Amino acid sequence: MDVRLQKVIADSGLASRRKAEEFIAQGRVTVNGQVVCELGTKVDPSGRSTIADLLPGVHVRVFPVGRLDFDSEGLMLLTNDGELAQLLLHPRHHVPKTYLIKVKGMLAPEHIDALEKGIMLDDGRTGPAVVKKVGKATENSWLEVTIFEGRKHQVKRMLDAVHHPVLKLKRVKFGPLTLGDLPTGHYRYLTDREANAVRELARERQDVQAGGGQARARQARVKRARAKWARNTRSSRQRNVSPKQVST
């Protein structure tokens, strides 16, 4: 049965119906890969499971912070705090996200160097990334890639640009959270320590957006944290402390 698109979005918990209408009007919603801007568009929501199917026993409406492509898997943070989600997803201050990626072929050192310096895409140059080789097969290789942005399909597009298409992608870290050994299709609640770390990260984003001396000081700390994150990622894969986390 066809249903209005804004109702489907609201029922999923991503936003209120009014906010969903704003997203549609702004061109921020796609259906089957096509941008939809017309209010009142109807879609058939049946035939595909959603993240809500993975949350038995959760009786409050939660929504994901960010997204994973349908053919990807890994860590997804869910919350019922819309303000928190918006702070974590602000386009100028995205949190670090780390992916374990299987790519076609073997990356040459110059390709890794290009990824780490920034790749020119059709929507501009990407920011610096952290890239680490973690394994190889006969014809393919495994990478650990950390980015600090949130463009659509960014990691896949970056690897396509150096002619090594992504064959498999799994998000293993999101800010201070790690996927750990959480099985695919399961969820768990954050520990108090993890939840506090996420809130502190959101407060830093809020201060940066507010402007002023305090914001600049906070921003300097964020830059230092990013540099430390990069060093740690290069040196070893750490098991850091890992709202709600779900592996999809």
Annotated active-site positions, please? Answer: 69
Q: Give the β-pairing of 166-174 and 73-79.
A: parallel
Size of the chain in residues:
248
Tokens of 230: 């990069």
Q: Which residues of 171-188 are buried (b: 16+ CB within 10 A; e: fewer)?
A: bbbbbbbbbeebeeeebe
Cα 41 to the center of its chain, rounded Å: 27
Spatial separation of the C-alpha atoms in residues 226 and 214, rounded to whole Å: 18
User: Which residues are 168's β-sheet partners?
Assistant: 102
